[in-house]
A and B are shown apart, each in its own frame.
Chain A
Amino acid sequence: MKTETLRGTAVTARVGLALGVTVAVCFVTGLISHFIQHPQPWFFWPTRPVWLYRVTQGAHVVSGIAAIPLIIVKLWSVWPKLFERPIFGGLVRQIERLSILVLVGSMLFQLSTGLMNIAQWYAFKFFFTTSHYAMAYVAAGAVVVHIGVKLPVIRRALGEPVDDETDFVGPTRRTVLRGTWLAVALATVVTAGQTVPLLRKVSVLAPRSGQGPQGVPINRSAIAAGVLRSARSPDYRLTVTNGSTTRAFSLADLQAMSQATHRLPIACVEGWSVDAEWTGVVLADLVAAVGGSRDSDVRMISLEPPGPYSRTVLPARHARDAKTLIALKLNGQTLDLDHGYPCRLIAPTRPGVLQTKWLTRIEVVAS
């Protein structure tokens, strides 16, 4: 069979359908992650199950990587159309071509910047988060327009058999489809180990092996945060405030309080995650110690000099949760300096970037 017949809409529609599913998963999970980090009054994010963000953000990166083989085959299947005559044609044709340009351009933008971001390779000279977020709407919109335009073709193609001839030596369209699913599986296996522990050994191209101090990887190091001296200072105090009520806790004070131990995942926006055992003071106890309300949000301030993530606000729902800890220990050992020594926030269903490390001050926000 010639490649002209191997191409065909039967392949395009089926691979396109799978690609559409991965795009939908990426878009929805991406929006979830965005709204956790930029809360809106209408947005509800639960505290249970504790691994919820681990799953949504893991799915974001896994489906984005699965989209790479799919888009390669999808573009291969339609590439000759690029040279179909008339090259320019009338206004309708030009609009159609322009919409395809936007579609392919935005999709390649999302997949390339996303893949580079999980490897922390910032070769592009624009800000990743805002441009990846904005372009997500462009890509999603272009996909929806494309489905709208092609709907009759998609319906027809999905209703027809994949191959028109049988008993044939060499590749058929079925071979193309099976090969595509195989490539998707392979792409997943070689990368998903950074979030799926079972695959850790075989994920040879995952940016994270899952190793790190005390068995947990890090993203921001104590050196990068510039807290080497302040975090180890004997004068260290954790200040907790509620309006005019202020209390200062030394590390010994915190250790003397009632301790709780919980198994909670740390899940990064970059898609890696690990489960760990955290021990420390329940945040709600500290809030109660200064007479804070259970319905108040709580601001976490790091020793790290002011920057995008040196202070974060924890919503009341998470702040009053019994599993939200100001952790002093990780996997049974005193918190490593890179994990936020002397103490850090660890709350269920939150992105790692908001689990503020090297805490110096906790403020109950007036509700």
Chain B
Amino acid sequence: MRAALVVLGVVLGGYGAVLLWENPPVILMRIVVWALVGVALHDLVFAPACVALGFAARRLIPGTWWPPIAVAALCSIVLVFLAIPVYGKPGMRPDNMTVLDRDYPLGLWISLAAVWACVPLYYVAAARFRRRSR
């Protein structure tokens, strides 16, 4: 089973590599660099920044507040990632007003506000629940 999975995976990946190889060297290089820069940005910038933020937050915020704040932080990160390609509408073309036709800054701020509004609500609800179950 395990060996079969590994072989199947190598064959699939190998076929992908063959397809990529059909690109001219310059293009292939750009593709590989894009993938590696993604890994480097995550491992050396994004992840350490999250660790630093979490480290600082745990010293500043009392333990009972951590769960809702950690979840809200994760949701905020996801919202920001999803907003990156639409926020400043970098892909907009003047001949087509049906793409990127929302107010994305407003949308992002409203959704972030909604997420963080849930934090105190959760805290109050959780505190009541704890008191009742005691």
Contact = CB atoms under 8 A, between A and B. Distances in A.
Interface of A: 3, 65, 68-69, 72-73, 75-76, 79, 82, 101-102, 104-106, 108-109, 112-113, 115-116, 118-127, 130-131, 133-149, 151-152, 169-172, 175-176, 178-180, 182-183, 186-187, 190-191, 204-209, 211-213, 217-221, 223-224
B15 A137 contact: yes
A175 B98 contact: no
Could you say which of B30, B47, B79, B86 has the most chain A C-beta atoms within 10 Å of its C-beta?
B86
A280 to B, nearest CB: 22
Interface of B is mostly: helix
Contacts of A144: 5-6, 8-9, 12
Could you say which of B3, B13, B75 has the most chain A C-beta atoms within 10 Å of its C-beta?
B13
Contacts of A169: 63-64
Interface of A is mostly: helix
Given A186-B79, A213-B98, 8 more contacts: A119-B91, A119-B99, A120-B100, A141-B15, A145-B5, A145-B13, A171-B67, A182-B75
B34 A124 contact: yes
Interface in B65-104: 66-67, 70-71, 74-75, 77-79, 81-86, 90-93, 95-96, 98-102, 104
Nearest to A111: B38
A108 B39 contact: yes
Contacts of B1: 148, 151
Contacts, number: 228
13 contacts: A76-B47, A108-B35, A109-B35, A115-B84, A119-B99, A134-B20, A144-B9, A171-B66, A172-B67, A179-B70, A187-B78, A209-B102, A217-B98
A137 B91 CA distance: 27
Given A105-B36, A169-B64, A120 B99 contact: yes
A82 B31 contact: no
A126 B82 contact: no
B117 interface: no
Given A76-B50, A124-B34, A170-B67, A105 B39 contact: yes
Interface in B24-76: 27, 30-31, 34-36, 38-39, 42-43, 47, 50-51, 54, 63-64, 66-67, 70-71, 74-75
